[in-house]
Amino acid sequence: MKLEDAKRRIAQDSELHAFISISDETGDGPVVAVKDLVDVKGTVTTAGGIILPKTPAANDAPVVNRLRGHGCVMVGKTNLHEFAYGVTSINPHFGAVLNPHDTSRVAGGSSGGSGVAVAKGMCDWAIGSDTGGSIRIPSALCGVVGFKPAFGSIDTTGVIPLSRSLDTLGPMAPDVATAAQAFAMMTGEAAPSMPSSRPRFAVPANWVRDLDDQTSRAWALVSRGIPEIQFVEHGALFRDGLTILMVEASVYHRRWVAEYPDKYGADVLTLLRRGLEILGVDYEEARTARPGLQAAARAAMSDVDALILPTTAIVAPLVTAGIEAREPLARYTRPFNLTGQPVVSLPAPVSGLPVGIQVVGRTNAGALAAAMWLEREWRSPAA
């Protein structure tokens, strides 16, 4: 993609509010959109809020610096749910990020701008962050591929945190191969090749429930014939992950919540205040339980290559949706931030509003390879 073509598309679809700022960089390498909580030298990092200093970053975050070595050009900073703390990207300061398939609906969050940028061809691929589903949810709702790598795969220095012990960075792209190539540039890990035989897929027993009609139809199609296995109980993973996220987010924001409450959107301020009410013993209990849950997840997958699950329980909700959308959008994403496993979200082979399917792997290469296989299978005439 040429940089001028990317900028032209950004301008043409400015009403989608995908970007907060556009860079003045030049070059003819891969065009990358960067979620606006990652430092890019010479641009202001807002994190989707209005509290941070309005001074340009003096240095690139390490992940951006690594991409420079591959000739990548950062086209601009994408819009997001304020401070990455939400699943809709309805941003009171920079405008709600609108779904490219239906502008009456949300793009998903928190990396909504990155999802829209990819879906509308405003970049070759984009950087997102994921703490409870923030790469995978907008990827699912916008109909693109998103990859949350294994925890710790990518340095998060130079990134405004949400929850330091859960935060991950990863690529969002038009297809799995591009996501894999982007991840290779972000990390130096080799991009996987297509598996020579069908990966062993499984569905966690008793996990999938209460899907809306469109998601249910897509899930019935893609899960047909795939066996169930016993996996870690969903509730423990979801609950402990949420406890850790809420406490760590509130600790980071505590001073600003006290001094500048009027500078937050109402939804984010409510969540931050709730986090301050969580008892220290509950946070410590969740942290202590985490290693055992991670070990149990690894053991449960000893005989399979990847799990598949819906990414979200519902398709993109309307922009008027409230807090009730939070749980069905994050229900199947949040558990895998606690386990730290790598997960790809890719579009199901259905028409209408996009439906995302998660591929949960044991290794980064394994998750990407399994997703490649499914993507090819779904694109074949027999799919």
The catalytic residues are 35, 110, 134
Ramachandran sector of residue 133 (left: φ over 0; alpha: ψ -120 to 50; beta: rest): left
Tell the burial category of 216 from Cβ atoms under 10 Å away from its Cβ (0-12, 13-18, 19+): middle
162, 71 in Cβ contact below 8 A?
no
Question: At a CB cut-off of 8 Å and minimum separation 6, what does 2 contact?
Answer: 28, 31
Helix (H, G, I), strand (E, B) or coil at 380: coil
And the tokens for 72?
């990548």
Torsion of CA 22, 27, 28, 34, to 10 degrees: -40
Q: What is d(CA 192, CA 344) in angstroms, rounded to the nearest whole number?
A: 13
Question: At a CB cut-off of 8 Å and minimum separation 6, what does 68 contact?
Answer: 60
For 344, list phi and psi in degrees, rounded to 5.
-105, 135
Question: At a CB cut-off of 8 Å and minimum separation 6, what does 293 contact?
Answer: 232, 236, 237, 240, 338, 339
Closest CA to 84 of 53, 45, 122: 45
Q: What is d(CA 194, CA 186) in angstroms, rounded to the nearest whole number?
A: 20
Closest CA to 108 of 82, 147, 138: 138
DSSP 270-331: HHHHHHHTS-HHHHHHHHHHHHHHHHHHHHHTTT-SEEEEES-SSSPPBTT--GGGHHHHHT
C-alpha distance from residue 232 to each of 209, 247, 253, 304, 346 (Å)? 16, 23, 32, 14, 23
79, 48 in Cβ contact below 8 A?
yes
